[in-house]
Structure 1
Amino acid sequence: MGEAPAPEVLYVNGSSKVVPETQQNHVNNVNVSDTWYEEVIDDDLKWSFKLNSVLYKAISEYQDIALLDTKRFGKALVLDGKMQSAEADEFIYHECLIHPPLLSHPNPKTVFIMGGGEGSAAREALKHKSMDKVVMCDIDKEVVDFCRKYLIANKEAFANKKLDLVINCAKAELEKRNEKYDVIVGDLADPLEDGPCYQLYTKDFYEKVVKPKLTKNGIFVTQAGPAGIFSHKEVFTSIHNTVKQVFKYVVAYSTHVPSFADSWGWVMASDQPILIDAVEMNKRIETRIDGKLLYLDGVWFHSATIMNKTVSKSLQNETHVYTKDNARFIPGHGIL
C-alpha cells in the first residue's frame, strides 16, 4: 500500500482548515465536507469547527471576514480569525447584551449600537415596544452588506423603519450627533492589537464620548470578552475596571456561550442605580417585549452577576485601566 497523501491545509482568516482526504476544495457556496476551520484561542489552544462550506470570505478595509456554514453551530460570522456569533447560539450573546440594560431602564426609547454589523443586536432591541429609534453604527460596510444577504434571521430588523443604519466609526458618529440616547451598546469586535476596535474600550472614550451622549437615566453596556476561569484576565477584568473609573454604578455578568468555547462577559454601567429584582425583570419581559426570549429571565440574570470566587477576586483586585497607549489584547490577529 502507498502512503496516504498529506492533509491539505486551506487558510482562511489566518487560521487553517485541514482536509484529511484528497479532494478539490472550493471556497464559496460549495460543500467542503471534510474541511475544518481552526480558531486560535491561545498560543497552545485551538478550537475547531467542521464545515459544510465557506459561504463568503474577504479582506475588507478593516478586517478579515468569513461567513462559515458549520456542521455544529450553523452559519458563523468570523472577523479577524475570531468567532463573532453562530446561528445556533447567537441568541445567548445578544439577549445578554441587549435586554439587561433595556429592561433596567425605566422607559427606553432610543438605542445607539456601536458595531453590531450582523444586525442581531438591533433585532433584539427592536423587540421592545417602547422603542422609537435604534441606531446601528458599524465601520465596515462589507460586513453589513454580506450579513444582510446571508443572515435570514435579521432581515426584518434590517428592514424595520425604526432602524437607522450608519456606516461610520462609532466614535466619530457619536461625537457629531447632538441627540442623547437611553442606552448605548458596545457590540464591538474584541480588542486585538492590530484590529480596528481597541481604542473604543478606553477610559478616555467612555468618559469623553459615551457618557456625554447618555440621557439622565442612560445605561451603557459593552461586551467584555472571555470571562472563563482561565481567560478572564485577558480583557474582562480590565474593561470592568476601566468602566468603573467613569460610571458610579457598574455591574459585570457572564454566561457560557457554546460556540465561543468559553464563558463570556458583559459590563453594564450608569450613574443611576440599575439593578432591578428578578420578579420585576420578569414582569417587564412580559409587558415590554414582543415575542419570547429564549435565554434570559430575571432569576438567571441575577445569578449571572454572581461570579465564582476566582473571577470575583480578580475583578476586585484589578488595577489596569485601558488607555490608547496602555491596552490589553486577546490572542488573535488583525490586518491593520
Structure 2
Amino acid sequence: MGEAVDEVHAINGYDEHRAKECPEERKWYEEEIDDDLKLCYALNSVLHRGTSIYQEIALLDTKHFGKALVIDGKMQSSELDEFIYHESLIHPALLFHPNPRTVFIMGGGEGSAAREVLKHTTIQRVVMCDIDQEVVDFCRRYLTSNYEAFASDKLCLVINDAKAELEKREERYDVIVGDLADPVEGGPCYQLYTKSFYEQVLKPKLNHQGIFVTQAGPAGVLTHKEVFSSIYNTLKHVFKYVLAYTAHVPSFADTWGWVMASDHPFTLNAQQIDERIKERINGELLYLNGESLISSTTMNKSVHQSLLKETHVYTEEDARFIYGHGRACCA
C-alpha cells in the first residue's frame, strides 16, 4: 500500500507497511497514482493499520483532510470531503426513483453509503453486502460518523461476495448501488463491472422502475478513459437509459465519475429534485441540490466526446484496469 514517509526522504529507504517514527520531521503518506506520479498527504499520525485476507487497511490522521481510510494504498474517503462522494453516489438514484423502499449496496463496508440511504424516509430495508468482515469491523469501530447507520434496524449487513449474494437472493430491489473498489488487475472486482454481470445477475434483481448506480472511477480530462467511459458504454448495452455525472473530490485530487442506469428515463428537473429532497430526506445535504445534480451531468467537451465515441465493453476476457494491483479484494 502507500507509504507514510518523512519529508526529507520521500522516496527511498522506508518500510512501506509502517510509518517511520521521526518526531522531528514531518511524516507523509504517499499514494502512487502511476509509475511517474505520486500524491503526498502530510500526516499527524497513523491511527491504525490492519491486514485482512483480502486487503490492507489503514486509518490515517492527515493534516489537511482529517481522518482518511486507505485500502490497498488507495484513498477511499476522508473526513473532510467524503460527503461529496457518498452524496453523489446515493442520492441521485434515490431521488429519481418514484418511491425507493429497498436498496442493495454492493461493497460499502465503511457504512457511509448506508448512512446516506437511511436519510430517505421512504426506505424500509437496506442490504449492505461486503466481502471483508475485517474492513466492516474496522470501520464500525473507528468511523464514528457511521455509528447510527450500523445500528439501524433497517440495515441488513451481509458478509459475502456481492455477485454470489445477488445470485442466490430471490428478492428484488428498487435501487442497487455499486460502492465498489476500482477495477484493478489482480482482483476479481472487475467482474462486477462486466456486461455479463449487469445483464445476467444485476438487472434481473431490480424491481419495475428500478435504478442501478455505480461509482465509475476517475473522470477527469486526463483520466476518464481509464475506466469511466468504458463502464458508461458497457451499461448502455444493458439498459435503455444511462446517465453519467461527475464531481470534483479534493482528497482524490481528481474529478470522479458515477453512472446511473435504468429502463425508465431520468426526467426530473432541478426544481422537482429540490422538492423531493425536502419531502424525503431527513436533515440537510451538504453538497447536492437540484441545480448541482443537473449540472453534474454536463461533461466538458473532451469527456463528452469520449463517452460518445467509446466502443469498449467490459468482459471477463477484455477488462480495463486503473493503475495498481489488488489482492483478490472485492465487494
Structure 1 position 165 matched with structure 2 position 157: yes
Asked if residue 48 in structure 1 is aligned to residue 35 in structure 2, the reply is no
Residue 230 of structure 1 is matched in structure 2 by 222
The 1:260/1:21 distance shift into structure 2, 3 A limit, reads closer
- Segments of structure 2 that go 5 or more residues without pairing to the other structure are 10-14
- What residue ranges of structure 1 are gaps of 5+ in the alignment? 1-12
1:77 is the counterpart of 2:69: yes
Residues 111-190 of structure 1 mapped to structure 2, 5 A cutoff: 111-190=103-182
Partner of 1:269: 261
Offset, 1:274: 2.0
Correspondence 1:299 to 2:286: no
Q: CA deviation at 1:59?
A: 2.4
Amino acid of the structure 2 residue aligned with 1:331:
Y
CA contact (8 A) 2:184 2:325 kept: yes
**Over residues 118-152 of structure 1, what are the superposed CA-to-partner deviations in whole Å (9 max), with x where a residue is unaligned?**
00000000000000001100001111001000000
Matched residue type, 1:283: E
Residue 85 (structure 2) aligns with: 93
**1:19 equivalent in alignment to 2:14:** no
| In structure 1, distance between residues paired with 2:40 and 2:253 | 10
Q: Give distance in 2, aligned partners of 1:237 and 1:81.
A: 24
Assess if the C-alpha contact under 8 Å between 1:62 and 1:196 holds in 2: no
When normalised by structure 1's length, the TM-score is 0.92
Q: Secondary structure at 1:320's aligned position in 2?
A: coil
CA distance in 1, matches of 2:72, 2:22: 23
SS at 1:197 equivalent: helix
Deviation of residue 31 (structure 1)? Answer: 9.3
Shift of 1:325: 1.1
What SS is found at the alignment partner of 1:92? helix
Distance 1:145 1:229 in 2: 37
Q: Which amino acid aligns with 2:98?
A: P
Write out aligned runs for 1:244-263 (5 A): 244-263=236-255
Kept in 2, the 8 Å contact 1:219–1:268? The answer is yes
2:4 counterpart letter in structure 1: K
Identity of aligned pairs, percent?
68
- Distance in 1, matches of 2:290 and 2:208, equals 24
Q: Which amino acid aligns with 2:121?
A: K
Residues 84-142 of structure 1: per-residue CA shift (max 9 Å, x gap)? 11110000000000000000000000000000000000000000000000110000111
Q: 1 CA distance for matches of 2:69 and 2:319?
A: 25
SS of 1:171's partner is helix
How far apart in 1 are the matches of 2:171 and 2:22? Answer: 48
1:270 maps to a residue whose letter is S
Aligned residues: 321
Contact in 2 for aligned 1:27/1:53 (Cα 8 Å)? no
Match among 57, 61, 82 for residue 53 of structure 2: 61
One of 277, 280, 288 as aligned partner of 2:280: 288
TM-score scaled by length of structure 2: 0.94
For residue 210 of structure 1, what is the amino acid of its counterpart?
A: L
The answer (yes or no) to whether the contact 1:62–1:140 under 8 Å persists in 2 is yes
Provide the C-alpha distance between the structure 2 equivalents of 1:198 and 1:75, rounded to a whole number of angstroms.
Answer: 28
Cα distance in 2 for partners of 1:209, 1:40 equals: 34
RMSD: 1.8
Is the 8 Å Cα contact of residues 229 and 306 (structure 2) preserved in structure 1?
yes
Secondary structure in 2 aligned to 1:158?
helix
Residue 335 (structure 1) shift: 2.4
